[in-house]
Every structure is written in structure tokens, then in C-alpha cells.
Amino acid sequence: MTKKLGNLVLDRWVEGDGDGTALTSAVDGEAVATLTSDGLDFAGILDHARRVGGSNLRKLTFHERGEMLKALAQYLMEHKQELYTLSTQTGATRSDSWVDIDGGISTLFVFSSKSRREMPNDHVYLDGPPEQISRNGTFLGQHICTPKLGAAIHINAFNFPCWGMLEKLAPALIAGVPAIVKPASSTAYLTELMVRRIQASGILPDGALQLICGGVSDLFDHLNCQDTIAFTGSKGTAEFLQAHPRVVSDSVAFTAETDSLNSSILGPDALPGTPEFDLFIKEVTREMTAKAGQKCTAIRRIIAPAPIAGEVVEALARSLGEIRIGNPASTDVDMGALASQGQRAEVRDRVKALASQADIVYGGHDEFDVVDADIGKGAFFMPTLLHCENPLSSAAVHSVEAFGPVSTVLPYTSLDEAIELSRLGEGSLAGSIVTNDDGVARELVLGTAAYHGRMVVINRHCAAESTGHGSPLPHLVHGGPGRAGGGEEMGGIRGVKHYMQRTAIQGSPQTLTAIGHRWVRGADQLDPGVHPFRKTFEQLAIGDTVVTDSREVTLDDIQHFADFTGDTFYAHTDEEAAAKNPFFEGRVAHGYLIVSFAAGLFVDPEFGPVLANYGVDDLRFAQPVNYGDSLRVRLSCKQKTLRAGTGYGEVRWDAEITNQDEEIVARYDVLTMVATNEQWASVQ
């Protein structure tokens, strides 16, 4: 009997009512599973996410959520083999599955690591520094981000059943927002298997993840302003869902990643025989055939210099001719099948539409060899290349997306024309430029960037390490304007902020310090009782402050520092030359001398809990220091970030150096690692 996919609702696996829709293998047309979500209580699902999932996640700090993602990623790595086996049924080769499964898991790792490095070990994210909005600094502004108190609805496309879920799930969970995932029906069996493993791991708290295999019924009727929707799929569905009365009335945040007629431009310098020409042919071939062209980022439009467009067509036809199509489980196969027979029928129709304005120059027919498979049963499709003679006056090549191994060569006669052709896609997820002329790269990037979410420039210098045209990365934004949906996902911590509300908080420095757990200039300076360097991580209080004695800077000090370091820049060593400089009246102290003297003033030298200084941030010299000036330092404990399990925490100190007239000469943050109580006790 065919397996009926489960729905994970209220932390239990339940089956929908009825027989459900049959899902078949892309490779041999055999039944794989059935799916139905009929009869589920969608209002209850939302309520569970908000009430149970949200509150469980929000109890954790950003770092604890990051640790949770890391544990989950490690667990999935250990259980990925069965996912690979099942993935074959979607038509994916081993390398296609690697992008989907390992790519998805590595997205969890990246978000885990970025959240712990770039976010505080706290419940509130401070978005930028305080804003000075009053004359005396007693009333300031600070942008903060806190998790939305709703559910993240994730509606995914069929082409990446694992990555598609995880790239949305990772930022939502880091933000502290539970997810309700609805995979595309045709490949939902793979998503379901991954969710089963996630649930079996027991790593996510109750309510953090629910799965709906099938339609979403009246789910949207119950949304409110705290919920978010992240959608990947066709433009038509995005428009339909975005117009839902509840989405409109409650301003439900809606991110869409939709169709995209991505282009790749070959620079005029990249003639046949150059490494760039070969790189271009390789890149286009890979983009057309990876995942059988079912990638939202695949190259659909090949923009090539008119004088060599014929050679581009010939080289691509040769390269595509080497692609072995067939059973994706076979190691002799380069390209598997489309995800379903329905998908193949759709791609055929789209090729017909394209062929009304372009000539098919390779492929486009149903007679081709397949390896280890029955061409009559699987959804196999031959790579198909078209050539459009007059691309500026052919609308179809810029608007019809054949979601398969299909692309069209569009010749251009000038860079302006290449830019115009690229823009005719009316908004793309990804664009690429292959050139070894950085002047051309700049002109093309500035001419087309506004129409793209991500652009990659490839030449002989970076090709070996390039991640390629079509690979969205968790560090970089994925999304694009116009036809691409107008949304943005990932992009590191930017992606986390999509699930949070940014709020401008106004108040006194002390109030802002209490809210954000980051000391703000003007807030109370606490007397630490002892030098703060004698305190462990736990003993330190935000606001603990030391004000040092003063130290005079002499001409001998400046000369000595110049001789000792070799920094004999004229402003420190030549009285006459220094005075000609509009900023100085004569020889001045080196900035690094000032900072070094400051350290000499504020450190407490004896062995203590401060383990190391690992850098400074935001160092600014506000005033020159002349010899004869006296320096004094105020050092305040600004922010504490516990590094769980390491025996230390990071402590950021606000340092301000003033002169004898109490004018600020330098400001910066000193970054230190400070032992925890336990660590300190163990080393004494």
C-alpha cells in the first residue's frame, strides 16, 4: 500500500482525511506516496505555534537558539543517507541532492554560527548605535528588534524540498518565531521525511515546527499582524496569496521569491580562446542542467556579443551534447528527470511559446537516449537551447520561464544594449557577468544591479573558488525585485530580522541601558568597588567604571615612539612640516601612542580574570594631542556576552580619552575575554 504522508500538527503526526492525492516518482512514474491535509484544524495549528512554539523559543537567547540549530544540523548530517536515497525519486542526481540536502543543513550551520558571532547572548537585538536626538544627550533613540509574536508560514516550491524548508526555517528559529511549513505537493514526501527526522531528534522545543502536507484550507483566514508569510513559487500564486483579505487587512508581512528570467552576460573581451569564454560555456551548461534546470536562479537568458553569438551557440551545443540524461541514481548520469510528468508538459508548452520568437538550435525534441531508465515512464527532458535574432523586440524570451533545462541566446551589439536586455527580465534573483575587464564589470553591474538581488562576476582569477551563478548562499541575500517577487531572504542576520519587529525606543541613557543590556554614554557610571579587571564575568556589572589618573605626553615620548615603532610620519617628527598640515599646529602624538598610553592607564596588571584583549572597535581620534597635553581615560563595562561552555565571556568596554580641558581626544570599544567564576576558580 502507498504511504500516506503525515502532517505534524500540535507536535503529533496525524493523517488528513480521505485517500489524498497520489504522488509519483519522477523517474519511473510509480506511486511514492499520497498526501492530504483535509480535516486539519488550521486555527488550532496557528494557535499552537503562537502559544506554545513562540513562547518556548522566546525563552531562549539568540545564542541558545544558535546552539539548537547547530545540534540539529549535526543530527541531520548523521541521518542524511536515507534522504539521499529518497531524493532520487524527485529526479535529482547525487549532486542535485547534495545542493538540496547538504546545502540545507549547511544553511543551519551558517545561521547558527552567525547568530552566535553577530547577535548578543540575549533576547533583544540592538539595531545600530544609539541616535543622538537631544542637545545634552539626556534623551536618546535606539532601534531594537524583538521577535514577532506570531507564526512564520513557509510555503515552498517543489524543486528544493529540503533546502527550501531549511533556508526559511533557520532565520525564523534564530529570531524566536515558530514555523508552519507547507511544502509543494509533488515532492512533499522528501520534506516530510526530513521533518520526521527533525522531530525524532527532540532538539526543537514543542510547537517550534509544524508541517502541512497538502492544501492550507482556511489557514490564511486566521492570520494576524504578528504572523509572517515567506513564499517560494510562481508569481501567479504569490499574487493570489498576497491579495488574501486577511493579508491585506492585517498587513501580514509577505516575502515572495518567484519566477525569474535570470541572465548571464558574456563580456566583449571574452572571445573564443580566452579562459572567460570557456568559463562561460561551462557555467551556462551547468546552470541549464543542474537539477534539470529547475532552479529559480538558473540562467534563462544568455546575453552574448553579437559577433561571437554563433560560436557561443556552437560551443554550448557541443557541451550540452555531452550531458548524459537518465536515472539520477546512476553514476553515469549528469542530469536526472523533471519533478513530474505535469512539470514536463508545462516545460514543453513554454518551449513552444519561446519558439514563436526564437529558433531552437539544440534539443527541443523527445527522441534522445536515457541511461538506465524508461523514457516513456520518467519525466525526462532534453536540454534545449534557443537563439533569438532580435531580442530587443521579442517579448517572450524575457517573460516566458520554462522551468527546465532551457535557455535562449540573445546577441548584443553594445554594453548599453546588453544592459537593456538584462533589464527586460524585469527583476531577477541572480545575474552573472563573465569578463576579465573590470571596467566592463563595473559598467554592467551599475547598469543592472537595481534589477537584481544578487550578481556574480566571474573571471579567470576567481573561477576556481567561485560558488557559481545559481547558488544562493546563507550569507548573501536571496530574492529580487519585480518578477522575482520583490522579496529578500537569508543575507545572514538580515534574514533573521525579517521575523522581528524593529522598534525605535526613545528614553534616557540609563533607561536604554536597562532595556538593551548595553551601556549607553550618559548612563550611570557604577563604582565597581575594586578595579573591574579584578572581577569575573559574572561579577562584572554593566556600567562598572574606572576613571584613571592622568598622564602627560612629552616630546620625548613622541620621538621615542617614532624611533621604537619606525612610524616616523612627518606629523610626529617634523615640527615645520606638521605645522603646514591644516589640522596640526606642530608635532602631535601618534594615535597609537595615545591608545597605548590609555591602556597603560586603565589596565590592572596583576594576574586576574581578564584573559585577553582581542581587539578594538570603532576607534576614532577626535582631537590632536600635542606634547604637553595630559590624558585621562574613562573605561566602562559596556556589554557582556557569555560564550557558553567555554569558561569565558566577551566583555566590551566603552573607552573615552580626554585631555586636560576635558575635551574628548579618542573614543573606542575595547574587546576582552573575561573568565567565568568557574574558570577563574580553576586557574587560581
- Determine, following the binding rule CB under 6 A, whether residue 257 of this chain makes contact with ligand NAP: yes
Question: Could you please report the per-residue DSSP string of 310-341?
Answer: HHHHHHHHHHHHT--BB-TTSTT-SB---S-H
In whole angstroms, the minimum distance from the beta carbon of 160 to ligand NAP comes to: 7
**424 half-sphere exposure, CB direction, 13 A CA radius:** 22
Q: For residue 326, what is its C-alpha cell?
A: 537518465
| Shortest Å, Cβ 338 to ligand NAP | 11
For ligand NAP, the closer of residues 184 and 299 by Cβ is: 184
CB of 164 to ligand NAP, least distance (A): 7
Contacting residue, 212, 429, 542, 657, with ligand NAP by CB under 6 A: 429
Nearer to ligand NAP, 155 or 203 (CB): 155
Q: How far is the CB of 126 from ligand NAP (least distance, A)?
A: 31
Q: Sketch the per residue contact string, 265 through 304, with ligand NAP: x for CB under 6 A, - otherwise.
A: -------------------------------x--------
Of 107-115, 253-261, 439-447, 574-582: span binding ligand NAP (CB under 6 A): 253-261
CB of 421 to ligand NAP, least distance (A): 20
* From 162, 296, 388, 637, the catalytic residue: 296
Residue 85 C-alpha cell reads as 536515497
**Among the listed residues 158, 362, 451, 519, the single contact to ligand NAP using CB under 6 A:** 158
Select 215 or 586, whichever has its Cβ closest to ligand NAP. 215
CA separation for the pair 411, 417 (Å, rounded): 9
Residue in 237, 341, 548, 630 binding ligand NAP, rule: CB under 6 A: 237
Q: How far is the CB of 424 from ligand NAP (least distance, A)?
A: 17
- Exactly one of 115, 185, 513, 636 binds ligand NAP (CB under 6 A); which one? 185
Contact flag: residue 233 with ligand NAP (CB under 6 A): yes
Please give the Cα distance from 279 to 469 (Å, whole number). 11
Q: Which is nearer to ligand NAP, 100 or 401 (CB)?
A: 401
Could you tell me where the beta strands, DSSP code E, fall in 157-279? 179-182, 209-211, 228-232, 253-257, 263-266
425 binds ligand NAP (CB under 6 A): no
State the Cα–Cα distance between residues 467 and 477, nearest whole angstrom.
Answer: 14
DSSP 158: S
Contact 671, 614 (CB under 8 A): yes
Closest approach of ligand NAP to the CB of residue 192, in Å: 13
Burial class (CB in 10 A: 0-12, 13-18, 19+), 628: exposed
Residue 477: partners with Cβ closer than 8 Å, 6 or more residues away: 453, 454, 488, 489, 490, 491, 494, 495
Of residues 159, 191, 289, 658, which one binds ligand NAP by CB under 6 A?
Answer: 159
Q: Mark residues 52-81: x for contact with ligand NAP by CB under 6 A, - for none.
A: ------------------------------
- State the nearest-atom distance from the C-beta of 19 to ligand NAP, in Å: 16
Complex with ligand NAP: residue 156 or 672, whichever CB lies closer: 156
| Cα–Cα dist 679/651, whole Å | 15
Q: How many of the chain's residues bind ligand NAP (CB under 6 A)?
A: 22
> Which one of 15, 227, 259, 287 is in contact with ligand NAP (CB under 6 A)?
259
Q: Which CB atom, from 106 or from 217, has the smaller least distance to ligand NAP?
A: 217
Q: State the cell numbers at 274.
A: 580566452
Q: How far is the CB of 18 from ligand NAP (least distance, A)?
A: 15
CA 41/CA 39 separation, integer angstroms: 6
The secondary structure of 46-58, three-state, reads: HHHHHHHHHHHHH
Distance CA 561, CA 566 (A): 8
In degrees rounded to 5, what are phi and psi of residue 425? -70, -15
Q: 305 vs 480, which CB is nearer to ligand NAP?
A: 480
Nearer to ligand NAP, 221 or 369 (CB): 221
For residues 258 and 384, which CB has a smaller minimum distance to ligand NAP in the complex?
Answer: 258
**Single residue of 93, 156, 422, 513 touching ligand NAP by CB under 6 A:** 156
Instruction: State yes or no: residue 163 binds ligand NAP (CB under 6 A).
Output: no
Q: What share of the chain is helix, strand, coil (3-state, %, to 5)?
A: 40, 25, 40
* Residue with nearest beta carbon to ligand NAP: 233
Nearest to 474 by CA among 489, 487, 486, 463: 489
Shortest CB 418 distance to ligand NAP, Å: 23
The span of 77-85, 245-253, 258-266, 626-634 binding ligand NAP (CB under 6 A) equals 258-266
**Residue among 257 and 283 whose Cβ is closer to ligand NAP:** 257
Decide: is 313 part of the binding site for ligand NAP (CB under 6 A): no
Asked whether position 155 contacts ligand NAP by CB under 6 A, the answer is yes
550 near ligand NAP, rule: CB under 6 A? no
453 binds ligand NAP (CB under 6 A): no
Nearer to ligand NAP, 255 or 536 (CB): 255
Beta-strand (E) ranges in 396-508?
Answer: 406-412, 428-434, 452-458, 477-478, 489-490, 500-507
> Site for ligand NAP (CB under 6 A): which residue of 403, 412, 621, 648?
403
Backbone angles phi, psi at 672, to 5 degrees: -130, 160
175 contributes a contact to ligand NAP by CB under 6 A: no
> How far does the chain reach from its first CA to its final CA, in angstroms?
67
Rounded Cα distance between 483 and 427, Å, is 5
User: Cα–Cα distance between 595 and 546 in angstroms, integer?
Assistant: 16
Residue 296 identity = C
List b or e across 104-139, with b for residues whose CB sees 16 or more CB atoms inside 10 angstroms.
bbbbbbbbbebbbeebbbbebbbeeebeeeeeeeeb
296 is catalytic: yes
Does residue number 401 form part of the binding site for ligand NAP (CB under 6 A)?
yes
Does the footprint of ligand NAP cover residue 659 (CB under 6 A)? no
Q: Candidates 46-54, 111-119, 232-240, 615-623: pick the segment binding ligand NAP (CB under 6 A).
A: 232-240
Residue 216 binds to ligand NAP (criterion: CB under 6 A): yes
Query: In this structure, what C-alpha cell is assigned to residue 654?
Result: 566603552
Alpha helices in 145-187 (DSSP H): 163-175
Distance from the Cα of residue 25 to its chain's centroid: 32
Catalytic position from the list 67, 167, 257, 283: 257
From edge to edge, which strands make up the β-sheet containing 3-4?
3-4, 31-35, 21-24
Q: Are 265 and 433 in contact (CB under 8 A)?
A: yes
Q: Which stretch binds ligand NAP (CB under 6 A): 79-87, 252-260, 518-526, 627-635?
A: 252-260
**Side chain identity at residue 567, one-letter code:** D
- Grid look-up 557577468 returns 433
Burial pattern 380-411, b for ≥16 Cβ within 10 A else e, equals bbbbbbbbbeebeebebbbebbbbbbbbbbbb
Instruction: Confirm or reject binding of residue 262 to ligand NAP (CB under 6 A).
Output: no
258 touches ligand NAP by CB under 6 A? yes
* Catalytic residue positions, numbered: 257, 296
Which residues are at the interface with ligand NAP (CB under 6 A)? 155-159, 182, 184-185, 216, 232-234, 237, 241, 257-260, 296, 401, 403, 429
